Structure 1
Amino acid sequence: MAFLIFISFLVAQRLSELYVSSKNEKWLLANGAVQYGQKHYPVMVGMHTCFLVSVIVEYYLRGGTGMNIPVLVIFLALLAFKYWVIASLGTFWNTKIYRIPGMQPVTRGIYKVVKHPNYMIVVGEIALIPLVFHLYTTAIVFSILNAAMLYVRISEENRVWKMMNDK
């Protein structure tokens, strides 16, 4: 039962993030934003979808596992940081890469201290979510896949900011 509640929470949380992202996307486009990274975005979405499926499949293949409460607490604390990131970026937060020409990067909130805090959080989520239920294969495989995805994603974001700063 705990696993079902946890997965339901994750799905609801992810869907709410997509809702916020969609709402912010409309604002960004209305304010002249340009999208970048369209080629890798479907791969990223696919990876995150497969990640959730893998968590479910591994859990049931292992016959169910107990919950690791300390890891759950760390994951929930990580979510607090994620919401700080989302609040810091406000309408600029999105799952896609958008930039409004002439705008500088956000430097408030956690962005005063860390350049890519959202991606640090995603690294933690990909590792911790499966570990809440001792799903080591999913944690390892998707941490590696996520590292490759983030290499592409962060390189693209840095390229966009450099290109905009060079103008």
Structure 2
Amino acid sequence: MSVALFAVFVLLTGVERLNELRVSRRNAAEAFASGGVESGRGHFPAMVALHTALLLGAVAEVVLLDRPFLPWLGWPMLAIAVLCQAGRLWIIASLGRQWNTRVIVVPGAERVRRGPYRWAWLPHPNYLVVVIEGVALPLVHSAWITALVFTVLNLVLLLGFRIPAEDRALRALRDAGGAGPDAGAAGST
């Protein structure tokens, strides 16, 4: 795969992310109109910056450090990256109007139990997809520094801030007498 084709793939991934933001804004507005409460807002700008840096960093590393396309690595990583896109679309479709990029809990909302959310052992499927994609996308063209740096920083954000914020928000809703032990919807879990 040429550098130009890799750049186009990353660009298309970025366009897909911009579309996600459009859907997220619409869904967040509906959640707020239904009494939704946002939590964990402080880490959101860092997440946006990190995800933007993943896309820019992957292309920059390939161009600036002359990273080769290694077919034995690149083709499987491309397949995984494409599967991650399909996984993200499945997650967004499964959550429907409850999906957004923020942590917004709507009192009384039913917990989604379709798609990947039907499995209790996988509480945050979107984040699993993001972690896998953060490794696979840069490695399509052997941008291993970007893959490593993104993965470490992403895990810090997810485990240190995002997932605890979602879990606290849902726990507070349940403790306040929400719609049962699995009440509410929280962001893009």
1:137 matches 2:116: no
* 1:62 corresponds to: 65
Unaligned stretches of 5+ in structure 2?
177-189
1:82 matches 2:91: no
SS where residue 38 of structure 2 aligns?
strand
User: 1:3-22 counterparts in 2 under 5 A?
Assistant: 3-22=6-25
Deviates more, 1:23-32 or 1:138-147: 23-32
Runs (4+) of structure 1 exceeding 4 A deviation are none
- TM (normalized to structure 2)? 0.84
Identity between Structure 1 and Structure 2 (%): 38
Deviates more, 1:26-35 or 1:57-66: 57-66
Counterpart of 2:169, as a letter, is V
Choose from 39, 43, 46 the match for 1:40.
43
* 1:97 corresponds to: 103
Unaligned stretches of 5+ in structure 1?
none
Q: CA RMSD in A?
A: 1.3
1:160 matches 2:163: no
SS where residue 39 of structure 1 aligns?
helix
* 2:125 corresponds to: 117
Q: How far, CA to CA, are the matches of 2:152 and 2:35 in structure 1?
A: 35
Checking the alignment, whether the CA contact within 8 Å between 2:80 and 2:133 is kept in structure 1 is no
Counterpart of 1:153, as a letter, is R
Residues 49-81 of structure 1 deviation map (CA, whole Å, 9 limit, x = unaligned): 222221121111122532611210111112211
- TM (normalized to structure 1)? 0.94
Q: How far, CA to CA, are the matches of 2:22 and 2:135 in structure 1?
A: 24
SS where residue 40 of structure 1 aligns?
helix
Q: How far, CA to CA, are the matches of 1:158 and 1:7 in structure 2?
A: 32
Q: How far, CA to CA, are the matches of 1:130 and 1:50 in structure 2?
A: 11
Residues 117-148 of structure 1 deviation map (CA, whole Å, 9 limit, x = unaligned): 00101101111110111111111111000000
